[in-house]
Amino acid sequence: MTFYANSINLKNRGTNLTSQDISDAACTIAKEVAAESNRDIMIAGSLSETVAYSGFGSRERVENEFAPQIQTFMKNDVDFVIAEYFRYAEEMCWAIESLKETGKPVVAMMNIGGMGDRTGISTAQCALKMAKAGADVIGLNCCFDPDHLVEAVKTMKIALEEAGYKKHLICQPVGFWTPDAGIDGYLGLPEYPFALEPRSLTRFDMRRFARRAYEAGIRYIGGCCFFEAYHIREIVDELSHERQQKPPNADKMEPWGVAVSNNATPWIRQRGRREYWENLQPATGRIHSPSMVESQHDANWRSSSNLPR
């Protein structure tokens, strides 16, 4: 867990720990957990945006923030490195170029959704800049829901292919629905940060996300903030055929609620099938849901981006 662990961010949070302290401890813990499994698990270290940049900082100052973390990743011999949660294309490219010097594979994810970066660079153009900087895996993470990010990554895929780049794609949305979010994603929603629970995605939403992402050509599929362990499990199970393996302890859980078919109550028994849960539209329990009252700007943007309403 090295996200946001550069020196300025740590200092702003009132800790005396250094970025080396955090990154070294994170690598140690990750290796210990990986060693407990019989599976082949890879370890990664990640860089994220810095307060040193914030839209106008110098490259030298930003790279000085990256350097201690990168040195710690190399000391721990991580398998690959990640640049994630960058809202400015320029800073993202600096991070990619710094990580490329390690000789490790570089995964790069911007936190911009389908509306481009904070300076007006489109999502498609951001993808091209990331590819030119040398990223091996390109995509988006955080702040937006699965429907939004899958469509946004598809625009990146088209741009990369048209430019002749052959890159792997990654998508890691948040575990909330954000159809009414602006450029800041869930951070700009009125429910943030203490009342987001009514927007939570179900396990079946996750299965649909996994399938849509896979069909879009995305092969690194996961989750960011507010994802739970069972959400990841559903992604793994949905793609078990393609991956040619089931999740750990798969014998303890039936997919699509099949286990409820053993319930003696007739109206619950009939729910133990894929068709029921796949077609269910869960109720919010809140009749006047603000997220369903869209502005004309939101409606126009979703229409132009082919996003579902």
What are the residue ranges spanned by the domains of the chain? 79-257
Q: What is the pLDDT of residue 98?
A: 97
User: What is residue 296's predicted lDDT score, i.e. its pLDDT?
Assistant: 47
| pLDDT reading at 77 higher than 80 | yes
pLDDT, one tens digit per residue, over 18-68 is 889 989 999 999 999 999 987 789 999 999 999 889 888 899 999 999 999
> Which range (40-44, 81-85, 165-169, 295-299) has the least confidence?
295-299
pTM for the full predicted model: 0.87
299: which residues sit within 8 A by CB, 6+ positions away? none
Residue 189 confidence (pLDDT): 93
Which class for 37: exposed (0-12), middle (13-18), buried (19 or more C-beta within 10 A)?
exposed
Of 287 and 84, which is predicted with more confidence?
84
- Is the pLDDT score of 69 beyond 50? yes
- What is the per-residue pLDDT for 97? 98
* Whether the Cβ atoms of residue 180 and residue 146 lie closer than 8 Å to each other: no
Instruction: Tell me the average pLDDT across 259-265.
Output: 63
Q: How confident is the model at residue 308 (pLDDT cuts 50, 70, 90)?
A: very low
79-257 has CATH 3.40.50.150 classification: no
- Side-chain-side CA neighbours of residue 254 (13 Å): 11
Predicted confidence at residue 2, as pLDDT, reads 80
Per-residue confidence band for 301, with pLDDT thresholds at 50, 70 and 90: very low
The runs of H, that is alpha helices, within the chain are 7-12, 19-35, 59-75, 89-100, 123-133, 146-162, 203-215, 229-238, 240-243, 266-269, 274-279, 296-305
Indicate if the pLDDT at residue 305 is higher than 70: no
Give the mean pLDDT of 270-275.
81
> pLDDT band for position 286 (50/70/90)?
low
DSSP assignment of 214-227 equals HHTT--EE---TT-
Q: HSE-up of 125 (CA within 13 Å, CB side)?
A: 11
Per-residue model confidence (pLDDT) at position 247: 78
